[in-house]
Amino acid sequence: MSQPLDDLLTIAERAYVRMQAGQLISQCLEAGDASALDALVRQLVLAGPPSLAVLREIREEISSVRSSLRQEGLSVRQELKDALAGFGLQMPQLLAAEPPEAFRRICGQGLRSEVKKAASGLVSEDQLLLEEVCREAGERVSTIASRLALLGRVDGAVQDWLVSLAYEAAHTSQDLEIAPHTPRQH
């Protein structure tokens, strides 16, 4: 039976690991390079099955960050729709798609071309401003998409290692149960 203090320490340890993983993930996303996170995962894999809980925490943090990035991408799309509407432009065909297709459209040259055509009746300053709004939205979504791709790759690797370590842990415990106990010779 576990003690309440042991349970509390486990919760605190998990929260600490998750916080550290979140910071490391943020650093990797800023740098556009997951090598530091990959190195941590490799160390945990080398530690074997006892690191399963930590790897699960890392995976949950990756999932949380991915969800936040998707929400950020949807916010960019909504801001772009609002900006276009502010100039009297309704472009549902370009912005109605669901992610990731909507993100591709925002990043692509097609959006800027369609906006340019639709805004041809506006004064040149407004046309330039709309072009800048589209370019900035495209850059923001492109950054989000590259971060999502990086997280997807890391998440896949962590998932693969989790499956492998869980398999190893299952086989190890099964081997222990099957192996006959032999008394020591003195």
Percent of the chain with pLDDT strictly greater than 90:
44
CA distance 132 to 146: 21
**Domain extent at residue 155:** 4-163
Q: Decide: residue 105, CB within 10 A, 0-12 exposed, 13-18 middle, 19+ buried.
A: buried
Q: Decide if 120 is inside a domain.
A: yes
**How do residues 157-175 score in pLDDT, each as one tens digit?**
999 999 988 888 787 765 5
Residue 72 CB neighbour total at 10 angstroms: 16
Q: Decide if 186 is inside a domain.
A: no
pLDDT at 108: 81
DSSP alpha helices (H): ranges in the chain? 4-31, 35-47, 52-86, 92-95, 101-107, 109-118, 124-178
Count of structural domains within the chain = 1
Q: Decide if 184 is inside a domain.
A: no
Whole-model pTM: value is 0.79
Q: Decide if 182 is inside a domain.
A: no
Q: Decide if 175 is inside a domain.
A: no
Both structure tokens of 167: 């398999």
Asked if 170 and 48 touch (Cβ cutoff 8 Å), the reply is no
**How do residues 45-91 score in pLDDT, each as one tens digit?**
888 887 888 889 899 999 999 999 999 998 998 999 899 999 998 87
**How do residues 33-54 score in pLDDT, each as one tens digit?**
999 999 989 988 888 887 888 8
Both structure tokens of 125: 């300053």
Examine the pLDDT at 179 and tell me if it is beyond 50: no
